[in-house]
């Protein structure tokens, strides 16, 4: 008689353990083949031979390198079209997919053709600290490379990120927080960027401690798209903090007001795009464009900064240089409340030298 209650309890425990195991497996590390497959032209066979965990590692590495690339002025996704060959490796798939997700225009070519041809490489080394792998990414003359190593279930940087082909590295911030989300028992890795082969006395490098409690389930980790959006936004925020133009030296030539449908959207719509096209038709090399989007004088209005960045990217797509477009600081507009989600104006003013 006592067998059945004990059997029931044992069965319940086993069922609970199986459920917990299934839940842990569903949130564990690993990404599907579709997450690394380029939309334009991918290589399915190259992704079938590796595990979901290895695919997750490659996605992190590609995200880390491409998030650095988009902060280089010469490599703004709004203005650069990249040329590439069909990838022949899993790493190649990860790189091309990351470039697509970062917003670059992509053009498949049959050879190493084009000003912004994409090349990449992966090489292994056996060292006294274990096996490390150097991953490189080059777009035209700009080259990035960094060493990574697998520790436990995660992959982590094991060197500074080296950059060549550009002078603009001082303001770059690496997307290294994505590695901490893997968790690690006392794992420490180095974070920082330096010019390739050139000692830098002003180098800013740090170490990042990774603990077990940093670990997040795979579906809770920072999405690749968010990493790229933050990197692009950082570029424009730094650009907006540069010295403001002296408007006394300019006269207002034309002005237009763009209307966004609500306070959160970054979708410009066809009417706004047409208004920008009409405005830039008369743009000359010495002119400037001032974008007035922020209506929150008492704090940082992130939504308005996103809209301003969207407008600046639209201008860049029409050939207006970054140095000729300026995001104006916040201006008080007490008639709008933070909760107001009505259609939102962005003023775009075209100035010409006196």
Residue 245 pLDDT:
83
Residue 313 predicted with pLDDT over 80: yes
Domain regions of the chain by residue span: 28-222, 242-353
Residue 252 predicted with pLDDT over 70: yes
Residue 83 predicted with pLDDT over 70: yes
- For 326, other C-beta atoms within 10 Å of its C-beta total 23
What tokens appear for 277 in the block?
A: 């096209």
| Winning range, highest mean pLDDT, from 201-210, 235-244, 312-321 | 312-321
Residue 11 predicted with pLDDT over 70: no
Residue 2 predicted with pLDDT over 60: no
Chain-centre distance for alpha carbon 142: 17
Q: pLDDT, tens digit, for every residue of 93-121?
A: 999 999 999 989 899 998 888 889 999 99
Residue 19 predicted with pLDDT over 60: no
Mean pLDDT of the 242-261 span: 86
The strand pairing partners of 56, in sequence order, are none
Q: Give the three-state DSSP class for 225.
A: helix
Residue 264 pLDDT:
73
What CA–CA distance (Å, rounded) separates 111 from 17? 54
Q: Is 144 exposed, middle or buried (0-12, 13-18, 19+ CB in 10 A)?
A: buried
Mean of the per-residue pLDDT values for the chain?
81
| HEC per residue, the chain | CCHHHHHHHHHHHHHHHHHHHHHHHHCCCCCCHHHHCCCCCCCHHHHHCCCHHHHHHHHHHHHHHHHHHCCCHHHCCCCCEEEECCCCCHHHHHHHHHHHHCCCEEEECCCCCCCCEEEEEEEEEEECCEEEEEEEEEECCEEEEEEEEEECCEEEECCCEEEECCCCCCCCCCCCHHHHCCCCCCEEEEECEEECCCCCCCCCCEEEEECHHHCCCHHHCCCHHHHHHHHHHHHHHHHHCCCCCCHHHEEEEEEEEEEECCCCCCCCHHHHHHHHHHHHCCCCCCCEEEEECCCCCCCCCHHHHHHHHHHHHHHHHCCCCHHHEEECCCCCCCCCCCCCCCCEEEEEEEEEEC
Mean pLDDT of the 309-332 span: 82
Mean pLDDT of the 25-51 span: 78
The fourth-level CATH superfamily of domain 242-353 is OmpA-like domain (3.30.1330.60)
Mean pLDDT of the 335-340 span: 54
Q: Give the three-state DSSP class for 323.
A: helix
Residue 63 pLDDT:
96
Q: What is the CA angle 229-235-240, rounded to 5?
A: 120
Are the C-beta atoms of residues 186 and 211 closer than 8 Å to each other? yes
Residue 62 pLDDT:
96
| Winning range, highest mean pLDDT, from 49-58, 77-86, 264-273 | 49-58
User: At which residue do the structure tokens 């839940």 appear?
Assistant: 23
Mean pLDDT of the 268-274 span: 89
Cα-only R_g, the chain = 24
Residue 196 pLDDT:
81
Mean pLDDT of the 215-242 span: 82
Structure confidence at residue 283 as a pLDDT band (50, 70, 90): very high
Q: What is the CA angle 138-143-144, rounded to 5?
A: 100
15-19, 56-60, 217-221, 313-317: lowest mean pLDDT where?
15-19
Residue 253 pLDDT:
92
Are the C-beta atoms of residues 77 and 116 closer than 8 Å to each other? no
Residue 240 predicted with pLDDT over 70: no
Are the C-beta atoms of residues 182 and 153 closer than 8 Å to each other? yes
Q: pLDDT, tens digit, for every residue of 180-222?
A: 999 988 889 999 888 887 666 667 788 899 988 888 988 889 9
What tokens appear for 300 in the block?
A: 């940082």
Who has greater pLDDT, 313 or 154? 154
Reference 62, options 137, 116, 133, 134; nearest CA is 137
Who has greater pLDDT, 286 or 77? 286
What CA–CA distance (Å, rounded) separates 220 from 225? 13
CA distance to 106, 222, 292, 299, 312, per residue, from 330 (Å) = 35, 29, 8, 8, 16
Are the C-beta atoms of residues 215 and 181 closer than 8 Å to each other? yes
Residue 167 pLDDT:
80
């Amino acid at each position: 008689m006592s067998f059945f209650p004990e059997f029931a309890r044992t069965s319940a425990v086993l069922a609970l353990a199986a459920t917990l195991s299934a839940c842990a497996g569903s949130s564990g590390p690993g990404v599907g083949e579709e997450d690394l497959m380029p939309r334009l032209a991918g290589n399915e066979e190259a992704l079938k031979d590796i595990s979901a965990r290895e695919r997750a590692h490659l996605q992190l590495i590609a995200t880390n390198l491409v998030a650095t690339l988009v902060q280089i002025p010469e490599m703004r996704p709004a203005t650069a079209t990249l040329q590439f060959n069909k990838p022949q490796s899993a790493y190649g798939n990860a790189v091309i997919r990351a470039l697509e997700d970062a917003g670059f225009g992509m053009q498949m070519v049959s050879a190493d053709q084009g000003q912004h041809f994409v090349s990449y490489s992966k090489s292994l080394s056996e060292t006294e600290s274990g096996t490390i792998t150097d991953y490189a990414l080059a777009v035209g003359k700009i080259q990035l490379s960094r060493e990574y190593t697998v520790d436990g279930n995660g992959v982590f940087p094991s060197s500074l990120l080296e950059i060549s082909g550009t002078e603009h590295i001082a303001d770059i911030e690496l997307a290294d927080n994505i590695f901490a989300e893997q968790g690690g028992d006392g794992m420490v890795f180095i974070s920082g960027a330096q010019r390739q082969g050139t000692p830098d006395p002003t180098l800013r490098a740090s170490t990042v401690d990774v603990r077990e409690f940093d670990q997040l389930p795979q579906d809770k980790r920072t999405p690749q798209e968010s990493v790229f959006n933050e990197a692009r936004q950082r570029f424009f925020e730094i650009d907006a903090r540069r010295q403001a133009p002296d408007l006394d030296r300019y006269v207002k030539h034309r002005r237009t007001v763009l209307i966004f449908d609500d306070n959160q959207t970054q979708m410009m719509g066809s009417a706004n795009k047409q208004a920008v096209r009409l405005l830039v038709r008369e743009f000359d090399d010495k002119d400037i464009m001032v974008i007035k989007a922020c209506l929150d004088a008492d704090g940082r209005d992130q939504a308005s900064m996103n809209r301003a960045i969207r407008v600046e990217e639209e201008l860049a797509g029409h050939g207006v240089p970054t140095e000729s477009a300026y995001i104006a600081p916040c201006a008080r507009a007490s008639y709008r409340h933070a909760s107001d989600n009505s259609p939102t104006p962005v003023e775009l003013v075209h100035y010409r030298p006196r």
